[in-house]
C-alpha cells in the first residue's frame, strides 16, 4: 500500500525559494528556505522539513515543488540543521544534543511565521517531516511543540534505536561514513557518483542538492561541507535516541515511509514494535508505507508519495482547524 498521489500536483520547475536566517534561543543562526504555498488557504498547517546527516535543505526540493501547489498545506519551509549547509556550526559542548537541534526546528517554525512565538495552542500548527537523522530531530521537536504540531512524517528513519538496528556503535558508524577517494577527487567525479545512484531521477535539483553537500578545494578535490565536529556530534546524538520513549510522548498522527529493508526485516520489525508501543500507550498507531525496492533518499526516488503523505496529514488537520468547517 502506498499514499494516494491523485491530489499531488506536478512539480513547479520555476519555483525558487527565498533564503532566510533565524537566530535560535542558543544565539546560533539557522538557515532555512521558504518555498511558499498555495494562495487562499485557510486553516491548513505549514510544513517544516528536516534533512538527514551531511545533507542540506535542498534535498527536499522535489517534494517542496509539489507541496507548494498542494491542498492541505499553507507554506513549506526546509531548513539546514546546525553544522550543515548555511547554518552556524558551534563548537560548544552539547551544541548538537537532540533537544538543542529540536529547539532549532521550533525557532525556524516560529521565525518563518508558520507558528506564533507564544506557546499558545489556539494558533496555527505545523506538520513536521524529517529524513533519516532529520526524522529523529523532527520527532524530538514534536515533543517540544506540544499541541502546536499537526502531524509527523518519518521518512526512512526515526523509529529505530540505532545501535540495536545497525549492530554497531557510534564510533564504528562514523568510520563507515568516509567516501571512497576516487569519488572525492573532483566535483565532476562526485556528481557522477551521485547521478549514478539512479540516472532517471538525476536533474537540476539533484545536482544542486549534491553540490550543497561538498566544498571544492583549490586542488580540485571535494570535501564534505558538513563540519567534521558537527557530523561527529550529530552521530553521537543520534545514537542516544530512544524511539519508544519519544514516539509515545505525544498523541498526534505519525506516518512512516520506509525504503528497502534488510534481509532479516529488522527495520520493519522495529517500526512495528514502536507502533505497537504507541497503541499500548493509548496513542494512534503509526501509518506505514513501505517501499521495498527504493533507496534511502525517498525524496529523490518517491517525491510524489512523500509529498502525498505530508499533504494528507495537512488536509486532515486543516479540516479540523478551518473556521469554514464550523459555519
Percent of the chain with pLDDT over 90: 82
Residue 171 confidence (pLDDT) above 50? yes
Distance CA 220, CA 215 (A): 10
Report pLDDT digits (tens) over 141-158: 999 999 999 999 999 999
Q: What is the pLDDT of residue 172?
A: 96
Report pLDDT digits (tens) over 93-103: 999 999 999 99
Helix (H, G, I), strand (E, B) or coil at 63: helix
Report pLDDT digits (tens) over 292-311: 888 999 999 999 999 999 99
Confidence of residue 318 (pLDDT cuts 50, 70, 90): low
Which phi and psi (to 5°) does residue 28 adopt? Answer: -85, 150
Q: What is the pLDDT of residue 113?
A: 94
Task: Give the architecture (CATH level 2) of 18-169+226-326.
Answer: 3-Layer(aba) Sandwich (3.40)
Q: What is the CA radius of gyration of the chain?
A: 19
Q: What is the pLDDT of residue 120?
A: 57
Write the CB contacts of 28 (distance below 8 Å, at least 6 apart in sequence): 82, 87, 88, 90, 95, 104
Distance CA 270, CA 232 (A): 25
Burial 139-174 (b: 16+ CB within 10 A, else e): bbbbbebeebbbbbbbbbbbbbebbeebeeebeebb
Report pLDDT digits (tens) over 11-55: 999 999 999 999 999 999 999 999 998 754 567 899 999 999 999
Nearest to residue 63, comparing CAs of 310, 314, 326, 324? 310
pTM: 0.94
Amino acid at each position: 500500500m502506498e499514499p494516494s498521489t491523485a491530489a499531488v500536483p506536478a512539480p513547479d520547475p520555476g519555483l525558487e525559494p527565498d533564503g532566510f536566517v533565524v537566530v535560535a534561543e542558543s544565539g546560533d543562526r539557522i538557515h532555512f528556505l521558504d518555498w511558499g504555498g498555495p494562495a487562499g488557504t485557510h486553516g491548513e498547517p505549514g510544513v517544516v522539513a528536516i534533512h538527514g546527516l551531511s545533507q542540506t535543505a535542498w534535498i527536499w526540493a522535489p517534494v517542496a515543488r509539489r507541496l507548494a501547489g498542494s491542498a492541505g498545506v499553507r507554506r513549506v519551509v526546509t531548513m539546514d540543521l546546525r553544522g550543515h549547509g548555511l547554518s552556524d556550526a558551534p563548537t560548544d559542548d552539547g551544541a548538537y544534543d537532540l533537544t538543542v537541534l529540536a529547539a532549532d526546528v521550533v525557532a525556524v517554525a516560529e521565525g518563518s511565521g508558520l507558528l506564533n512565538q507564544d506557546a499558545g495552542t489556539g494558533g496555527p500548527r505545523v506538520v513536521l517531516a524529517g529524513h533519516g537523522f532529520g526524522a529523529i530531530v523532527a520527532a524530538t521537536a514534536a515533543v517540544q511543540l506540544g499541541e502546536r504540531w499537526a502531524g509527523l512524517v518519518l521518512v526512512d528513519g526515526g523509529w529505530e534505536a540505532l545501535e540495536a538496528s545497525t549492530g554497531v556503535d557510534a564510533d564504528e558508524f562514523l568510520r563507515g561514513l568516509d567516501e571512497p577517494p576516487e569519488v572525492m577527487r573532483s566535483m565532476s567525479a562526485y556528481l557522477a557518483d551521485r547521478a549514478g545512484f539512479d540516472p532517471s531521477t538525476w536533474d537540476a535539483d539533484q545536482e544542486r542538492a549534491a553540490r550543497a553537500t561538498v566544498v571544492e578545494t583549490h586542488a580540485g578535490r571535494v570535501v564534505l561541507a558538513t563540519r567534521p565536529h558537527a557530523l561527529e556530534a550529530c552521530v553521537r546524538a543520534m545514537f542516544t535516541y530512544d524511539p519508544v520513549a519519544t514516539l509515545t510522548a505525544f498523541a498526534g498522527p505519525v506516518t512512516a515511509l520506509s525504503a528497502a529493508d534488510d534481509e532479516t526485516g529488522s527495520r520493519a520489525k522495529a517500526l512495528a514494535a514502536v507502533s505497537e508501543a504507541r497503541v499500548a500507550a493509548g496513542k494512534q498507531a503509526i501509518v506505514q508505507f513501505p517501499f521495498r525496492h527504493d533507496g534511502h533518499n525517498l525524496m529523490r526516488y518517491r517525491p510524489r508519495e512523500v509529498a502525498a503523505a505530508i499533504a494528507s496529514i495537512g488536509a486532515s488537520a486543516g479540516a479540523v482547524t478551518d473556521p469554514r468547517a464550523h459555519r
